[in-house]
Amino acid sequence: MSNTSGNSKPSQGQAPKRPSAARPGTQQGQKRPAGAQGNRPQGGQNRPNGQKPGSKPGQKGLVRPAPKAKVRKARLLVARVDPWSVLKMSFLLSVALGIVTVVAGVVLWMVLDLTGIFDDVNALLGQILGTEGGGQTIQELVTLGQVASMSTIIAVINVVVLTLLSMLAAVLYNISASLVGGVGVTLTDD
């Protein structure tokens, strides 16, 4: 019993019939001539697992390494700097520098006092000046409170001066950048 209709079920032992798709070089419904090469290997020409088409039978296919990503480069110009943002940043950085100045002054005075350097300087001044020095010591002339207050005054002056200078520098940069185009920066993607 032959199976001629496309919708009927195949009988036992027969594979189901699939509709054939058009292949290059053939029309729909035409069969290839016997002996013509197709895209699939014939029954006795099965490839072993892992072998690429066109490779020799004993040779394994090599895995290609992934191509390296291209490094992107962008050339930018800093054409303008906002003076207000420069003012804020320079103020914060100069306040931090002022705190460091006060702490460094106090710590330096304490280290000099603990290591006995003030006593050595007092003895040296006593030998040089004799009794004419009035018998005053350096600790009486330069106390810890005086050092802290002087460091604070210096820190406040530094905050004002550095903030104004950095804002002035931003304004001058904007003027010069308008003339020459600004500073070129190259950014890369690593």
Residue ranges of domains in the chain = 75-188
pLDDT in tens, 9-35: 555 655 555 555 555 555 555 565 555
Task: Please give the average per-residue pLDDT across 158-178, as a whole number.
Answer: 96
pLDDT in tens, 152-167: 999 999 999 999 999 9
Read off the pTM: 0.55
Say how many CA atoms lie within 13 Å of 7 toward its Cβ. Answer: 0
User: What is the structure's pLDDT at 2?
Assistant: 47
In sequence order, which residues have a C-beta less than 8 Å from that of residue 79 and are 6 or more positions away? 177, 178, 181, 182
Mean pLDDT of the chain: 78
User: What is the structure's pLDDT at 82?
Assistant: 95
